[in-house]
Amino acid sequence: MLPSPSGLRRLLLGAAAAFGLPLWATGAAAQEGCDYVAPGNDVMNSQTLPGGDRVTYFTNPHFLCDDGVEIWADSAVAYTAQGMSQLIGSVRYRDQARELRSDQARYFSDVGRLQAQGHLHVTNSEDGSGIENGDLVYLRETDRREVEDMTVTTGRDGLRPRALVRPAPSDSAAVDAEPPSPYTVVADRIVLRGAGYFNATGTVEIERDSLFAFADSAEYEEASDGLILVGSARVESASYDLVGRTITLGTSEGGTTEIRALRDAVLTGEDLSLTAPQIVLHVADGSVERLVAVPLAELGAPDADSADTARPMANAQGFELTADSLELTAPAEVVERIVAAGQARSVSHARDSLNVEGLPEIARFDWLEGDTIVVTLRPVSDSAQVAADSTAGGNYEVERIVARVGARSLYRMPPEDSTAVVGVDAPALHYVMGDEITIVMNQGEVEVMEVVGQTRGVHLEPLRPGGSPPDTLVAASDTAAVTMNDVRRPARIPTTPLPAGTAPARGAKPWTRP
């Protein structure tokens, strides 16, 4: 026999209490509560156990609460003794802040704990963020719990949870500006706490626009608007890969995306690789506009290790640039300039075929030093694309190198002797010092060298077998501007002896020295 209408209502109120919802009441004692609404709430069976505990079975449960909470399911079982209710099939929970859907759910009213499994989908109605897949444990905010906590782990079906995290707009963003792009996060375990904290662990994969990131764990906090990747951290895009012990993604003051890699940071692009303790990228519309690489601590600083104090180094097709800091500008992701500041040094391996056995270490590379070095680059088109677009392709070549303050340079070239064999006979060496040195390049070769300020230098030719040394070159000048063909003209090349420590190594072929 089915219960009377009044008995049915008592059963439903018992179920509402089991779900942890406020009881419905009448009269002076009335308070906020939940009531059933048609269609649904067909009571199939209710059993009162010894001691007064009750188990109630429903089909089509549909609850509507005074605070706006609404719950649906195909069926439900309420256990008053355990303070637990089980919703089965097409579960749907909706309140003012979120909506939850799953195949089944259990709620423990005494501790404010909700568990949901199967085709899970949670959506935040305020900002559109959400999470899907996996098994959920939701701890409601209670008198004993200051903030709500939601944990989602890989489900029994093997599907890992996927979250959509929407960063808050920056304070400087215009009212009509597009909202920041969301992060899509996949991990073994995802935790959301309060209104603005997010944590993901276990082979974390993140996607945002055309950017992909990976790490052992990731953490996002709305207050700082920073997504922090820790452990095997890596960021990939169409034009570069960035790795580091820790990588932070956030929004810079200018509104661009800022990507910061810390410790053992390495950036690899099509034509550029960069290593530094700290690499910072400024990305606009998916393209890197600016890059800065610096140490994290000064040499000798307390508690600093080699990963904190190493000097940044950039390498582009055999061209190395090292300094205390490096800055690269690339509007629309077209590299224009690299500025190296603080004991800057550039090294070129383009002419290493000139080296011979016994050549001193200082002369085994073409190099340029100064307090600051500015390298200007230009894009070089693939031959098949030149006719279509003079700036096509992703390759670059060095156009100009400028060293300032205490500048000095060493450049190797084939010897004057026309019978000399490259790689067998020692090269000629050209060494110069000045306040500022500018080297103009053409297809990887030095075309013009300009020296400003009090200029000193020396040009060394290998001793010709059986011959006499060339004329001594001695000159003094405040400036010098020469092509490399002019190097052998005494009137154009100001010279002094090489500094101490630059003489050929023992056993090397001798050079003539002015």
pLDDT tens column, 299-335: 556 666 777 889 999 987 778 899 999 999 988 777 8
How far from 8 is each of 46, 50, 485, CA to CA, in Å?
Answer: 10, 20, 105
Written as six digits, the tokens of 454 are 């009090």
Summarize the confidence of residues 379-395 as an average pLDDT. 49
- The answer to whether residues 40 and 61 touch, using CB atoms and an 8 Å cutoff, is yes
Q: Which of 78, 91, 92, 93 is nearest to 48 (CA)?
A: 78
The CA-based dihedral angle spanning residues 7, 9, 14, 17, taken in that order and rounded to the nearest 10 degrees: -160
Distance of alpha carbon 88 from alpha carbon 463, whole angstroms = 94
- Range of weakest confidence among 16-25, 173-182, 277-286, 476-485: 16-25
**Alpha helices (runs of H) in 162-214, residue ranges in sequence order:** none
Written as six digits, the tokens of 389 are 């677009």
Of 395 and 437, more confident: 437
**pLDDT surpasses 90 at 67:** no
Summarize the confidence of residues 26-44 as an average pLDDT. 49
Summarize the confidence of residues 404-433 as an average pLDDT. 83
DSSP E strands in 66-210: the ranges are 70-72, 75-79, 84-94, 98-108, 113-117, 121-124, 130-132, 135-139, 149-153, 162-165, 183-186, 189-193, 197-208
- The answer to whether residues 461 and 511 touch, using CB atoms and an 8 Å cutoff, is yes
Of 481 and 439, more confident: 439
For CA atoms 201, 207, 208, 213, the dihedral sign is positive
**pLDDT surpasses 70 at 154:** yes
In eight-state DSSP terms, residue 493 is -
pTM for the model stands at 0.74
Show Cβ contacts of residue 505 under 8 Å, excluding neighbours closer than 6 positions. Answer: 358, 359, 360, 361
> In a 10 Å sphere around its CB, with 0-12 CB exposed, 13-18 middle and 19+ buried, how is residue 445 labelled?
exposed
Confidence of residue 174 (pLDDT cuts 50, 70, 90): low
What is the H or E stretch that residue 248 is in? strand 240-251
**pLDDT surpasses 90 at 229:** yes
Give the 3-state secondary structure of residue 80. Answer: coil
Calculate what percentage of the chain has a pLDDT beyond 70. Answer: 72
Summarize the confidence of residues 471-479 as an average pLDDT. 45
Of 406 and 394, more confident: 406
pLDDT, tens digit (0-9, with 9 covering 90-100), for 476-506 = 445 544 444 444 333 233 333 333 333 333 3
Of 247 and 336, more confident: 247
Summarize the confidence of residues 198-203 as an average pLDDT. 93
In SS3 terms, 277-345 reads as EEEEEEEECCEEEEEEEECCCCCCCCCCCHHHHCCCEEEECCEEEECCEEEEECHHHCCCEEEEEEEEE
Summarize the confidence of residues 134-162 as an average pLDDT. 88
Distance of alpha carbon 261 from alpha carbon 244, whole angstroms = 5
**pLDDT surpasses 70 at 193:** yes
> For the chain, what is the mean pLDDT?
75
Distance of alpha carbon 429 from alpha carbon 508, whole angstroms = 14
In eight-state DSSP terms, residue 470 is P
Written as six digits, the tokens of 463 are 């001793």
Written as six digits, the tokens of 469 are 């040394």
Single-letter residue type at 512: T
Q: What is the pLDDT of residue 300?
A: 58
For β-strands 445-460 and 477-483, DSSP reports them as antiparallel
In eight-state DSSP terms, residue 188 is S
Written as six digits, the tokens of 302 are 């307390």
Single-letter residue type at 35: D
- Range of weakest confidence among 42-51, 220-229, 466-475: 466-475
Single-letter residue type at 514: P
pLDDT, tens digit (0-9, with 9 covering 90-100), for 327-366 = 999 887 778 889 999 999 998 887 777 878 878 888 888 8
**pLDDT surpasses 60 at 383:** no
